[in-house]
C-alpha cells in the first residue's frame, strides 16, 4: 500500500487539471472572451478557481444525497469556507479553520450500525454528481443555444468535472491515514475493516452536532480509549479524547494522553506542541520551556483558541500580566468564533487563567525623559 503526502497529491492534481485544459482550449477561450489580453491570465486563474469550487460543491452534495438515500445521518457538509451543520441548522462562514481538504461530508449510520451497508453508493455519490453535472454542461454546449462566452464557460466546467471524477477515483492513502474515495472503495473490496475509524467517525459526528464532550456516549468513548491503548488510533481520536478530558478538567489523563501521542514516531503536529506547552506553563509553571515550544508552532496554526490559551498560560507563568490578559482576550475571541463554540470546561479554564493574570503585579508605568541634544524621547 502506497502512502503519499498531501502536498505531492495536490501537485499531481494540479498537473492533471493543467494538462486537461492544455488539451482543450475551453478555459483559454473563456478568458479571451471575458477580458482583454492584458487581463487574460488573472481572469483565467479566477475562473478556474470558481469552477473548481463549484465542482467541489456538487461533489460534496452528491455524497450528502447518497448518504440520505442509504439512511445515514448527516452531521456536516463543508465546502470551504462554508460549514453547514444540518442538525443544528447552522451555516458558518469561516476562513480561519484551515482545512486539510477543500470539502468534506460527515455522515454516519445509527450508533453501532453497519457502516458497510450502502457504502459503495455513498463513496460513489460525489463522483456520480461530478459526472452528471459535467455531462449536463457538455449537453448544454451541444444545443448551440448559448453564446460563445457561455459555451466556453460550460465547456470549462465539463473539463473540471471530469477531472474531479477521475482524481477522486484515484486510490490514494495519505500519510495521516486519510483516504481518497478510490482508496476507500479498494479497501472495501479487499474486505478491509477498521473499527477504530468507525468509532472516531461516530465521536466526530457527536462533536459536529454540538453535543458537549461530557455528554458523549460513554461506551463509545471507551472504545476510542481502547483504540488509543492498542496503538490503532489516529490524530483525530487523540484530539477528541483530549477535549473530553479537558472538559472534565482531568488534567492528569489529558497530559498522559498527550505524552503518549508525543512518544509515537514522526514529527509532532502543531496541536500537540500547543497542548504540551499549555501543561508545561499551566501545571509546571515553566514559562520559558512553554514559550520555546510555542515559538515552533507554524503561523497558520496560531489562529486558534488553543494556541492563545496556551500563550496566556505561558505569559502568566512568566509574570507578564499585560501579555496574559491580551492573550486571554484573543483566546476568548477565537473560542466564540469556533465552529462548535466554546465548551463550558474550556471557558472555566480560561476564566481561571484570567483571574490569575489579574492577580499579578501591575506592570510598571512607562516613563519618558527628554535628552538635552535634539532627538526623539527615549524610553527608560
For 110-156, what is each residue's pLDDT tens digit?
A: 888 888 888 889 989 999 999 999 999 889 888 888 777 777 788 88
Torsion sign, CA atoms 350, 353, 354, 355: positive
Domain range annotation of the chain = 3-70+115-189, 203-359
105, 66 in Cβ contact below 8 A? no
Q: How far apart are CA 288 and CA 87, in angstroms?
A: 44
Q: Say what the pTM is.
A: 0.76
What is the reported pLDDT for 95?
Answer: 65
27, 44 in Cβ contact below 8 A? yes
What is the reported pLDDT for 18?
Answer: 56
What is the reported pLDDT for 342?
Answer: 62
- Check pLDDT > 70 for residue 211: yes
β strands within 57-125, DSSP E: 73-79, 82-85, 90-93, 103-108
Tens digits of residue pLDDT in 324-349 = 999 999 988 887 766 555 677 788 88
Tens digits of residue pLDDT in 130-141 = 999 999 988 988
Tens digits of residue pLDDT in 5-36 = 444 455 555 555 554 554 455 555 554 555 55
Amino acid at each position: 500500500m502506497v502512502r503519499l503526502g498531501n502536498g505531492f497529491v495536490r501537485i499531481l492534481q494540479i498537473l492533471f487539471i493543467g494538462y486537461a485544459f492544455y488539451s482543450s482550449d475551453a478555459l483559454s477561450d473563456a478568458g479571451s472572451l471575458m477580458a482583454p489580453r492584458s487581463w487574460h491570465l488573472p481572469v483565467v486563474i479566477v475562473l478556474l478557481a470558481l469552477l473548481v469550487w463549484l465542482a467541489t460543491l456538487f461533489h460534496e452534495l452528491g455524497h450528502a444525497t447518497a448518504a440520505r438515500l442509504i439512511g445515514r445521518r448527516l452531521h456536516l457538509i463543508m465546502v470551504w469556507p462554508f460549514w453547514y451543520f444540518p442538525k443544528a441548522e447552522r451555516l458558518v462562514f469561516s476562513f480561519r479553520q484551515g482545512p486539510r481538504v477543500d470539502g468534506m461530508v460527515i455522515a454516519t449510520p445509527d450508533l453501532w450500525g453497519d457502516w458497510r451497508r450502502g457504502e459503495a453508493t455513498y463513496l460513489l455519490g460525489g463522483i456520480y454528481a461530478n459526472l452528471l453535472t459535467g455531462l449536463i454542461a457538455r449537453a448544454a454546449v451541444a444545443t448551440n443555444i448559448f453564446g460563445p462566452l457561455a459555451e466556453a464557460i460550460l465547456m470549462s466546467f465539463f473539463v473540471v468535472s471530469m477531472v474531479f471524477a477521475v482524481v477522486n477515483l484515484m486510490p490514494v492513502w495519505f500519510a495521516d491515514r486519510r483516504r481518497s474515495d478510490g482508496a476507500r472503495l479498494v479497501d472495501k473490496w479487499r474486505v478491509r475493516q477498521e473499527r477504530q475509524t468507525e468509532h472516531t467517525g461516530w465521536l466526530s459526528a457527536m462533536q459536529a452536532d454540538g453535543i458537549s464532550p461530557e455528554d458523549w456516549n460513554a461506551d463509545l468513548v471507551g472504545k476510542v480509549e481502547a483504540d488509543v491503548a492498542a496503538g490503532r488510533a489516529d490524530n483525530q481520536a487523540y484530539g477528541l479524547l483530549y477535549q473530553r478530558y479537558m472538559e472534565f478538567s482531568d488534567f492528569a489523563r489529558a497530559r498522559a494522553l498527550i505524552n503518549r501521542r508525543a512518544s509515537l514516531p514522526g514529527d509532532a503536529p502543531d496541536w500537540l506542541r500547543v497542548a504540551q506547552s499549555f501543561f508545561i506553563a499551566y501545571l509546571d509553571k515553566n514559562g520559558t520551556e512553554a514559550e520555546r515550544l510555542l515559538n515552533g508552532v507554524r503561523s497558520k496554526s496560531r489562529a486558534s483558541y488553543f494556541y492563545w490559551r496556551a500563550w496566556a498560560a505561558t505569559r502568566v507563568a512568566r509574570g507578564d500580566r499585560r501579555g496574559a490578559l491580551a492573550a486571554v482576550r484573543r483566546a476568548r475571541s477565537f473560542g466564540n468564533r469556533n465552529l462548535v463554540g466554546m465548551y463550558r470546561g474550556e471557558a472555566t479554564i480560561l476564566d481561571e487563567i484570567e483571574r490569575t493574570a489579574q492577580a499579578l503585579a501591575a506592570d510598571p508605568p512607562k516613563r519618558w525623559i527628554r535628552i538635552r541634544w535634539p532627538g526623539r524621547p527615549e524610553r527608560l
